Structure 1
Amino acid sequence: MTQMTALICAEPGALRLESRPRPEPRLGHVRVRIGHVGICGTDYHIFGGQQPFLAYPRVMGHELSGRALDASSDGTIAPGDLVVVNPYLTCGTCRACRNDAPNCCEAIAVLGVHVDGGMCEEIVVPEANLYPAHGLSETAAAMVEFLAIGAHGVARARLRPGAAALIVGAGPIGLAAAIFAGIAGAQVTLRDASPERLALAAGVLPQARTEQVGQEAQATYDAVFDATGSIAAMNRGLDWLGHGGTYVLLSVVKGDLTFPDPEFHKRETTLLASRNALKSDFDHVMACIRDGRVPVDRLATHSTTLDQAATMLPQWAADRGALIKAIIHV
């Protein structure tokens, strides 16, 4: 059995390269030679020790693209094909899975979080979790998963063309939601506490309006999307929502949501949680990238190699406001 290199988070704050056996072929699975890995906020949280329900050591990485080493049984994937990895491993039998909502499977396991992920040279995943990425660059393919999370939240909101949409939190997920709200025909405003993040966002979406937290909001909106990771901000989002509006929570944090019921009711607010993404969201993202509607080159702001990631990832974790998406080239 040959060996491969993997980047291990041994414990909070400790990264090391390690030699591990290459994965063996498995029935119904496909081996993938990992090419590119996007670094997610979840990875920074794992490194920092803020990710609950995680057992160390862990191979992080769930924003993945690579080349198939095996053919799929249905013939849609051939060896050498560029693929995007859907990192959500589902049971297929729970109520959510039976109702075509595997993104919120009762027994979901996410690569790089609940099980070892893709910051390594090869992985083996169920063939249903691989999507051909014809027409995409390998770097763009590694960004499909985080973009799909934003696209899923926008799909949940069912935006009408011309709707006014506010995205609170201009990090990668907020930017993903802003991009796909714009593609849906909405007029987009981005709101964040960081002038640095708003400047980066303006470079990605020059057509969007930006507002800094601390300034009075300029309007109420048909839809508000929270991507802050802050329970305080999530509790304030209703303030900016117009009557008959939809509030979509992309953030998942510990804490209690508290809204004044009279305000919530008089606006007949629709409150939606948005979790992970569906295959249809991945397909939508890839189609929009192929059509040139997603500024992927502006999103990939930093890069490194697997050998250097143990050095670079802690530096980026300490100053995440200066980057949008960092990519590891394996």
Structure 2
Amino acid sequence: MKALIYHGARDVRVEDVAHRHDPAKVGLRLRYCGVCGTDIGIFSGKHPRAAAPLVIGHEFVGTVCDPLPEGRFSTGDRVVAYPLISCGNCYPCRNGSPHVCQTLRLIGIDCDGGMAEHVDVPEADLFAIPAALSDEVAALIEPLAVVVHSLYKAEFQPFDSCLIMGAGPIGLLTAIVARHAGAGRLLISDIDEARLSICRELGFETVNVARESLAERVAQVTNGDGMGLIFECSGVASAAIEMSELARVGGTICVTATHKDAHPVRLIDVNFKELRVIGCRVYTKEDYARSIDLAVELQDELRSIITQIVPLSEAGKVFDMIADPSLTTVKILVDCS
């Protein structure tokens, strides 16, 4: 089969590789696989667990081609995969939170993933997708589940005023879901004008923080109160130090982005404003199931964040595309068919 293989830092190649089906798992013929920020980290050689050679990709949709003899799925069923691999033995696994397993692993990072023609997945980790959901939008279920999980963790309530820091795929998906869930005043901030333009096309109010003070805009739209709910989706140091200043008294900050370096945070704001700062990591299987239902409702809006579809034969170019400032890339899908 053909697959995009990570061979080391900045070295990925589409190659013909042997694929021997694991009879204990369900074999999938892959349709689409999304390119994620984690994949960018692997490509750059900075992911601590990704070991070459590796088929990357964990946001994928496919069709069952090798079902289990007495399994839940039949040949031709369309499915998405829950890519988390938990140990089952550590404290969070024993206490109902396997998604934050102390040795959490993922398909496409710790074992071969979905930027290929075929992959094998345990049946328990597969979810059927309805006929009403297109393959392209189904490839967004994994990042959509991140967002669904973050809204639950933040205890989102209708009419909450929301600030979303970062207009990448997760930030834009957060805006779409929060609006659908009944958010009140909603702002999205970023420095990328092309991405903010996509946000405006979808009807969102934006702030380009390279040109305008975010603190001043928040004060203006909230009459000086600050935002009730902030989703930090950018992962940058400046957002970490600014987010508490932008929150209202008694507000909530949900840190959705992964901050891999230590950043200063204004803890005095956390004290004086009695803020809740919520950590958020990946998703549960319940979040996955909810995301499939939600994707059917929001299909047209979700499709708008797919900015490029690249055939598998040219998948080695996707990281150069993402780095190219002349291209507007929000979510790239690899067409594995």
Q: Give the structure-1-normalised TM-score.
A: 0.92
Deviation, 1:119, is: 0.9
CA-to-aligned-CA distance 1:65-95 (integer Å, 9 cap, x gap): 0011233577532221110111111122222
| Residue 31 (1) aligns with residue 27 (2) | yes
1:65·1:85 contact (CA, 8 Å) conserved in 2?
A: yes
Give runs of aligned pairs for residues 159-238 of structure 1, distance below 5 A.
Answer: 159-187=156-184, 188-203=186-201, 205-206=202-203, 208-213=204-209, 214-215=212-213, 216-219=216-219, 220-238=226-244
- 1:287 — aligned with what? 293
- The one-letter amino acid of 2:120's match is V
- The one-letter amino acid of 1:24's match is H
Unaligned runs of 5+ in 1: none
2:138·2:295 contact (CA, 8 Å) conserved in 1?
A: no
Deviation, 1:316, is: 2.7
1:166·1:221 contact (CA, 8 Å) conserved in 2?
A: yes
1:23·1:123 contact (CA, 8 Å) conserved in 2?
A: no
| Residue 148 (1) aligns with residue 145 (2) | yes
From 293, 303, 307, the equivalent of 1:301 is 307
2:241·2:266 contact (CA, 8 Å) conserved in 1?
A: no
Moved runs in structure 1, 4+ residues, more than 4 A?
72-75
Count of aligned positions: 324
| Residue 246 (1) aligns with residue 244 (2) | no
- The one-letter amino acid of 1:277's match is Y
Deviation, 1:252, is: 1.1
CA-to-aligned-CA distance 1:217-259 (integer Å, 9 cap, x gap): 3231111011112133222211111111111111112222433
- 2:52 — aligned with what? 56
- 2:155 — aligned with what? 158
- The one-letter amino acid of 2:235's match is G
Alignment partners' CA distance in 2, 1:294 and 1:273: 30
Give the 3-state SS of the residue equivalent to 2:231 in structure 1. strand
Change in CA separation of 1:281 and 1:293 when aligned onto 2, cut-off 3 Å: same
Deviation, 1:117, is: 1.1
Alignment partners' CA distance in 1, 2:139 and 2:282: 16
1:217·1:240 contact (CA, 8 Å) conserved in 2?
A: no
Give the 3-state SS of the residue equivalent to 1:254 in structure 2. coil
- The one-letter amino acid of 1:199's match is S
1:23·1:31 contact (CA, 8 Å) conserved in 2?
A: no
- 1:103 — aligned with what? 99
CA-to-aligned-CA distance 1:14-46 (integer Å, 9 cap, x gap): 22122222132232x211111110111121222
Alignment partners' CA distance in 1, 2:293 and 2:199: 22
Give the 3-state SS of the residue equivalent to 1:218 in structure 2. helix
1:165·1:223 contact (CA, 8 Å) conserved in 2?
A: yes
Alignment partners' CA distance in 2, 1:274 and 1:129: 21
- 2:10 — aligned with what? 13
2:141·2:291 contact (CA, 8 Å) conserved in 1?
A: yes
RMSD in angstroms over aligned alpha carbons? 1.9
- 1:121 — aligned with what? 117
